[in-house]
Amino acid sequence: MLFHVTMDVHVPHGCDPVRFEQLKAAEKARFQQLQRDGTWRHIWRVVGRYSNVSIFDVEDNAQLHDLLTSLPLYPFMEVKVTALCRHPSSLHDDDR
C-alpha cells in the first residue's frame, strides 16, 4: 500500500544540541536503510520548514505505524498520513 506522509519536526526549546545531532544522525541512517529496502520510496524537503513529504510502500496501516513510531525523531514529529491508490490514467505500472 502507498501512503503520502507529511512529517513536521518541532524541536523543543532547551533540547540538548549534542543529543539532537545524534538523533538526526540515527534518523538519517534509519531513513537510508528504509529507502534501500524500498519501503521509503520518496522524500522531499518542504521549503522553509523543518518538514518533509514522503511516499511509503508498506503492507498495511500497522506496518506504517510501526515504522513511523520507530523513527528516532518521532517524539518531535507531527505526522499526517493519507492512503493512496493507483490512478487509472497513470502510465506507470509500479503505482500500486
Task: Read off the pLDDT of residues 32-59 as tens digits, 9 standing for 90 and up.
Answer: 999 999 999 999 999 999 999 999 999 9
**Assigned C-alpha cell, 27:** 534518523
pLDDT at 95: 63
Given a contact cutoff of 8 angstroms between Cβ atoms, the answer to whether 50 and 59 are in contact is no
Give the pLDDT mean for 13-25: 94
**Assigned C-alpha cell, 48:** 522553509
Set out the domains of the chain in order of their start, with CATH numbers.
Answer: 2-84 (3.30.70.1060)
Given a contact cutoff of 8 angstroms between Cβ atoms, the answer to whether 93 and 34 are in contact is no
- Give the Cβ contact number of residue 36 at 10 Å: 9
Residues 59-80 have pLDDT tens digits of 999 999 999 999 999 999 999 9
pLDDT at 96: 63
- Sheet hosting strand 2-9, strand order edge to edge: 40-45, 51-57, 2-9, 77-84
What residue spans of the chain are helical by DSSP H? 17-37, 61-69
Query: Going by C-beta distance under 8 Å and a sequence separation of 6 or more, which residues neighbour residue 92?
Result: none
